[in-house]
A = this chain, B = another copy of it.
Amino acid sequence: MKYPKLPSRSENFAEWYNQLVLRAELADYAPVRGCMVVRPYGWALWENIQQALDQRFKATGHQNAAFPLLIPLSFFEKEKEHVEGFAPELAIVTHGGGKKLEEPLAVRPTSETIIGYMWSKWIRSYRDLPQLLNQWANVVRWELRTKLFLRTLEFYWQEGHTAHATREEAEEETMRMLGIYEEFARTEAAIPVVSGQKSESEKFAGAVATYTIEAMMGDRRALQAGTSHFLGQNFAKAFNIQYLDRNNQLQYVWTTSWGLSTRFIGAIIMVHGDDQGLRLPPRLAPIQAVIVPIWKTDEEEARVMEVARNLKERLSQEVLYRGKPLRVHLDDRDHVTPGFKFNDWELRGVPVRIEIGPKDLEARAVTLARRDRPGREGKESVPLDRLAEHLPRLLDDIHESLYAQAKAFLESHLHDVETYEDLKAVVREGWARAWWCGRAECEAQIKADTTATNRCIPLEQPGGEGRCVVCGEKATVKAIFARAY
């Protein structure tokens, strides 16, 4: 059985992506337009993302909770910008238990309103602050153009919501969580990002300021991979969330929210994937090493399989990688060839393949193939008795190598531009960083001319000032413009 090839990325990136998601069994289309089924391999990846983030949230004092899926429609009207942003995307429950409801209910698209309502009941005094909450939840937004993981009607995410006594604390929290997203992307997913602030026209509906981490996909488009919002007192005033301060004065709280979703899986696929399939970052990969036994005769099979089974047991039980048991899988299918299996696990992006054949047995060794380096270049023979200590180092090395490749790719396609002509040329093939006056008209001009949008005003700025790349007016910040998902 010949292993069917994926379309190449250069030929048709969109089709490469769609086929890869389906064939790697990360997700499938649901019967309702725009909805997806996350299959076990995709969900295991999400569970690893959840664990890595949840640990960071708890270490910074946050607690998980669960707020309801169904929100009275009237809640959305309490914050003017919020309703404008979300009303067009709502799914509405009008009937329950066979009867028409008195007030229609929205399926939550995000939970600022319902959490704001509950805080107005729970928060009384400064002693009740800060509130540091998070929930892992599903949300529904009625999108028109959908794509598995990147934009689906229902998606999965975490949404953090915090309330503070002072503006400074809330601003600090907003930046702390942005920092956690950046660090998570780098150290767990091997994805370099640009951290920055969204422009007025790109910010979250209801926020005072939105911060983002932007990642560069393999087709050089940008993807917003996580956001953190400083909400000021907008929701506090809309939902009357007040507290008595130490001087017994009534004050409005200051709130934040921040989220990262299953969209991030799309980023992992498109940042690291190659023409053979996924290349999963070792720290998040559901399977970190796969053992592929190789034999021709029945006698060889018996010998090889015995060693393979023992090896799987031993590695799973004895090897810790970053404090957790190594995730090893033994591919014991007997109706496909080793060559088919090699292709299959490459497609699924397993970081390390461990080949065991009769020759390896003789040498008391295994052949390792690392997914981040193609062909022979990524192969080495390692003695069986050194494997347990070798694998964690190898996984770290693959992580670093994936990160370095992605970082080099990002840097080589992010260009400072001086003129509008340069900008137009650059955004066809990459990201343009340019002086920008801060006016929405200039952003809109760029979008109209090139379809590129203002991705963010990076936190890291050159300083000084220049002339806006569009209008030539004085500009004190540089922004990044790129086509985006």
Contact = CB atoms under 8 A, between A and B. Distances in A.
A66 B155 CA distance: 10
B66 A43 contact: yes
Interface string A23-55: 000001011100111111011101100000000
A1 interface: no
Number of copies: 2
Interface residues of A, number: 58
Contact of A31 (B28, B91, B117, B133): B117
A122 to B, nearest CB: 8
The prevalent SS among residues of A at the interface is mixed
Contact of A121 (B28, B127, B142, B335): B28
B114 A68 contact: no
B92 A66 contact: no
A63 interface: yes
A414 interface: no
B98 A91 contact: no
Contacts of A156: 66
The 6 A-B residue pairs whose C-beta atoms are closest, nearest first, are A97-B142, A40-B63, A38-B66, A92-B95, A35-B68, A96-B142
A30 B67 contact: yes
A208 to B, nearest CB: 25
A329 to B, nearest CB: 12
Given A89-B97, A95-B104, 6 more contacts: A28-B121, A37-B65, A37-B67, A39-B65, A43-B64, A93-B107
Interface stretch (A69-77, A169-177, A291-299, A306-314): A69-77
Contacts of A144: 97
A40 to B, nearest CB: 4
